[in-house]
Amino acid sequence: MQRHGFLLLLCCAGASATLLASAGDATSQWYQSARERTALLREAGKAIFSDPAFSASGRQSCASCHDPAHRYNPPNALDVQMGGSGFRGQGLRAPPTLTYLNRVPPYDNHHHDSEDEADNSIDNGPTGGLTWDGRIDSGAQQASIPLTSPFEMGNSEAGVANAVRRSPHAATLRAALGDDALGTDSKAFAAVTRALGAFEEDYAEFSPYTSKYDAWLTGRARLSAQEQRGLELFNDEAKGNCAQCHLSRRGLDGTPPAFSDYGLIALAVPRNPAIARNRDPGFHDLGACGPERKDKAGQDEYCGLFRTPTLRNVGLRSTFFHNGKFHDLTEVIEFYVTRDITPERWYSRDARGQAIAYDDLPARYHGNINRDPPFEGQHPGAKARLDKDEIASIVAFLHTLDDGYLKDNPYRGTSPSASPSASSPVR
């Protein structure tokens, strides 16, 4: 009986091992298939990103506003980009960079940092989400906006579907998502946006961490005396205090700095008269409470708030802030340190020649305007916290944040933090 029992145990153990091995093989094959399909999806997304056939005009692609040669920033100094079905429409906002979007958390009215990154006991307020107003959370959702926006690519769901079916990318998408991936207009549109989202989640392309600052943080470079001084002024609460929103230090878990806390903030950027919609004195771009974002319309506490962008690759831009009002980093910093000291320099004037402070935000929302340093204590006649040389040092430091100094990611192997969706394979 003991011998028979022992043999039975051996048989059961062998069968269990075989089942476990089979299950392991199946899991391994599933992941291999998922990786292959993800690669195909990204291949299609990369091609679609630069293909103007997906715009109504046939003259504009995603790359027209997010140029790979400029680290997915605009390729020119236009305040806002042109677009629309006839390519004669003017956009409302300046295109932000698409780099490091994997670091942006989903939108939350009351955001708390991860305990692995920072103090998670602090309520950071409205934070996260993609676009200037944080209204969507995924790359695929983000990609759908310019495709159909009347002042961007100006297409329709049906137009995008027809474009992809006629394109050389159709076979790749079907191989990645199934034979019926383009079967209906809605499926085809979803396949295109999913491919674009997958492409934008390519770490090596969109989150390379190859700047001089990353080299310095990992002991591969030295900052010049001016760059080092700029970093100190950037961090100093009594001077630039830039790091309050544009975090410059690595997280508690070693995560490279994103140079943004991704909070939504009201800076009272001056009105840009070059934007066509601003010719209507009753129109205001209020960011989180409209007009593009709809869910917070009428909620005054969100009016005038725009998401803090990353400063990585900021030196490759020629247009700054949500409305493209500024075109020079020196001028941007001067605005921060003199906004309320010399408002006549920044804002329009009334019939009597007096500066209309905060001229792009109705008075009822002025309580939302940020007054933390460097704005704290500003008033006509006050001394700016930064002088000309100090501003030049900060600008020099900002240029160390542009990718391309290193060939490869110096943190590789330490796995920079990312949202789960950024590394999820195709299922």
Q: How far apart are CA 198 and CA 209, in angstroms?
A: 19
Q: How far apart are CA 253 and CA 411, in angstroms?
A: 12
Tell me what pLDDT residue 12 has.
52
Indicate the pLDDT class of residue 268, thresholds 50, 70 and 90: very high
What average pLDDT does range 173-193 have in this prediction? 97
Give per-residue pLDDT as tens, 26-59: 788 878 888 999 999 999 999 999 999 999 999 9
Give the pLDDT band of residue 278 (cuts 50, 70, 90).
very high
Q: For the chain, what percent of residues have pLDDT higher than 90?
A: 82
- pLDDT-derived band of residue 420, with 50, 70 and 90 as boundaries? very low
Two tokens, residue 86: 């006839």
Cα–Cα nearest to 321, from 295, 291, 342, 346: 346
The answer to whether 314 touches 352, Cβ cutoff 8 Å, is no
Domains of the chain with bracketed CATH: 32-208 (1.10.760.10), 212-401 (1.10.760.10)
Place of tokens 């011998």: 3
Mean pLDDT of the chain: 91
Round to whole Å and give the CA distance between 367 and 370: 8
Per-residue confidence (pLDDT) for residue 87, from 0 to 100: 85
User: What count of residues does the chain have?
Assistant: 427
Please give the pLDDT value at position 6: 43
Instruction: Give the phi and the psi of residue 131 in degrees, each rounded to 5.
Output: 70, 170
Return the residue matching tokens 């605009």: 74
| CB of 234 closer than 8 Å to CB of 240 | yes
Angle formed at CA 393 by CA 407 and CA 235, multiple of 5 degrees: 85
Q: Are 246 and 311 in contact (CB under 8 A)?
A: yes
Q: Is the pLDDT of residue 427 over 60?
A: no
Nearest to 96 by CA among 316, 402, 417: 316
| Least trusted range by pLDDT, from 118-132, 251-265, 400-414 | 118-132
* CA gap 199, 183 in Å, rounded: 22
pLDDT exceeds 50 at position 417: no
pLDDT tens profile 104-161: 999 999 887 765 555 666 788 999 999 999 999 999 999 999 999 999 999 999 999 9
pLDDT higher for 199 or 111? 199
Position 16 scores a pLDDT of: 56
3-state secondary structure string across the chain: CHHHHHHHHHHHHHHHHHHHHHHHHHHHHHHHHHHHHHHHHHHHHHHHHCCHHHCCCCCCCHHHHCEHHHCCECCCCCCCCEECCCCCEECCCCCCCCCCHHHCCCCECCCCCCCCCCCCCCCCCCECCECCCCCECCHHHHHHHHHHCCCCCCCCHHHHHHHHHHCCCHHHHHHHHCCCCCCCHHHHHHHHHHHHHHHHCCHHHHCCCCCHHHHHHCCCCCCCHHHHHHHHHHHCCCCCCHHHCCCCCCCCCCCCCCCCCCEEEECCCCCCCCCHHHHCCCCCCCECCCCCCCCCCCCHHHCCEEECCCCCCHHHCCCECCCCCECCHHHHHHHHHHCCCCHHHHCCECCCCCECCCCCCCHHHHHHECCCCCCCCCCCCCCCCCCHHHHHHHHHHHHHHCCCCCCCCCCCCCCCCCCHHHHCCCC
- Per-residue confidence (pLDDT) for residue 114, from 0 to 100: 62
pLDDT(95) > 80: yes
| pLDDT reported for residue 425 | 41
**Per-residue confidence (pLDDT) for residue 330, from 0 to 100:** 98
Q: pLDDT by residue (tens digit) across 292-321?
A: 999 999 999 999 999 999 999 999 999 999
pTM for the model stands at: 0.88
Q: What is the predicted pLDDT for the residue at 220? A: 97
According to the model, what pLDDT value does residue 120 have? Answer: 66
pLDDT of 9 reads 43
pLDDT for 340-357, tens place per residue? Answer: 999 999 999 999 999 999
Min mean pLDDT across 20-24, 39-43, 314-318, 383-387 is at 20-24
For 32, other C-beta atoms within 10 Å of its C-beta total 11
Q: Residue 47: which of 198, 207, 184 has the closest Cα?
A: 198
Question: Which tokens go with 328?
Answer: 């020079």
Provide CB contacts within 8 A for 267, sequence distance 6+: 306, 321, 339, 369, 370
Tell me if 248 sits within 8 A of 257, measured CB to CB: yes
> If pLDDT is split at 50, 70 and 90, which confidence band does 25 have?
confident
pLDDT of residue 86: 85
